[in-house]
Chain A
Amino acid sequence: MSEQAAVGKLVAAQADQSGGVLFKLVITALALGIVPLSSYYLSRDYLWNGNTIYAAFTAVFSANVVLVLYILEAAREESRLRASEKQQQPENKKDR
């Protein structure tokens, strides 16, 4: 009975996690589309006084910022998952 409960909890946790992954991926895809274009036009008009080269570099920089944020989020999620696994392991030993 306790084994079934543990399996059920694991499946539910994985479902939560996969939903979270999909949400983060959708946010990243939208950000990769919206952020560079908007930063190109906004920086060209308001920051660099019409200089298109600096505006293009700003767009490239902002796209790479989105990438770095995604990598950091992925690393943070894995460390969070490892911490929760360590918390669950003492519980399993108690059930035995």
Chain B
Amino acid sequence: MATAPAPLSLSASTLPARLRAGAVPAGARWRQARRGRMVVRAKIREIFMPALSSTMTEGKIVSWSAGEGDRVSKGDAVVVVESDKADMDVETFHDGIVAAVLVQAGESAPVGAPIALLAESEEEVPLALSKAQELSNGQPQQAPPAPTEDAAAAPPPPPAPAAAPAPVAAGTKGIASPQAKKLAKQHRVDLAKVTGTGPYGRITSADVEAAAGIQPKSKPAPAAAAPSVGAVPQAAVLPPVPGATVVPFTTMQAAVSKNMVESLAVPTFRVGYPIVTDKLDELYEKVKPKGVTMTVLLAKAAAMALAQHPVVNASCRDGKSFTYNSNINIAVAVAIDGGLITPVLQDADKLDIYLLSQNWKDLVKKARAKQLQPNEYSSGTFTLSNLGMFAVDQFDAILPPGQGAIMAVGASKPTVVADKDGFFSVKSKMLVNVTADHRIVYGADLAAFLQTFAKILEDPESLTL
């Protein structure tokens, strides 16, 4: 029922006629700019997007029944338009030659916008083509730009063959992707003049958009209304490497990326400290059977040290003040499949290592199953990152936003050390490196904290209390 094609009244008029009629609803100002040029040649008529219903504001061209170069007579259906209600054949009121199609099938235009040019005779076709050139220049359907901008910013490209070739037969040397061809047609970009930067030197849609002077981010045409995932990485600053695979971030990876970029706003500094771990290793061997891990021991030690140096457990939220945290919550970085998460050992200074171990086990299990609650990964006041198990000797961590310091722990390895009496011995030594926010934590603070931390680990009995 609704699809029954109802021939509709016409929407072509001569330019002078339109002048007399006064302003046209859409884009009047912009057309006025051209009026002066066009008044002389009255024999080229514009075909407008008709208003097919009272609520219609824009219409989509379903198909052109007449192609460029076709001679049409009054009453012929030239185009099928899809409104918000139905598809309708639109016929012309004038005889003439369809000189240029301005809005291709599949594209939309606001009611009243020119969608094609009708030339009265063969002689006027080239004129109509040059006019089409002007009209299309910087005009992807909607939002006509100010005339000055139009003239200055985008010098008209060399007269491209306005008769758009059939979808397939783009006779260019360079290979262009399907979307690149569509965009080229839409923006009247001559593919032969575009240098391809895609895989195998292929012309991509980004290349065409660049050639058309379009910011790749703004998706102009409703024709591109089915955007692809590819569009996201394409919008990035760097050109794609030929042959590379682009894999968009998962939500977790996107969160990491965001946090890392944000961290650049914080002025940080780093202090390293060597710690002898023989006693710690002994203790670890003792408590290991009870389910206590090295991570928990380090977290506990850090928490105990933080209790004595509250400034390292503080954070700077507004750039103007210290925020002292009432709890000591140690976030521990954990690599999980395709990402990174920081489960938090809450009140690590207050709980004993056995309870902490139990909590840690639960947290890791939840993290693997991606079931951590926000307060279980975002409530940290200090972060611990341990790469010791990979035999990393030392590394540098990036301070996560909202915290005052992060500790990077390397592997413990046998090292020759001399004691104060000059005796040499081989001790296990590990290097820890703390990154801190220098707005609140100063060098001496951090050094003192590390000294306390080292003392706890070098005489670790207190850990088990």
Chains A and B form a bound pair: no
Binding site for B on A (CB under 8 A): none
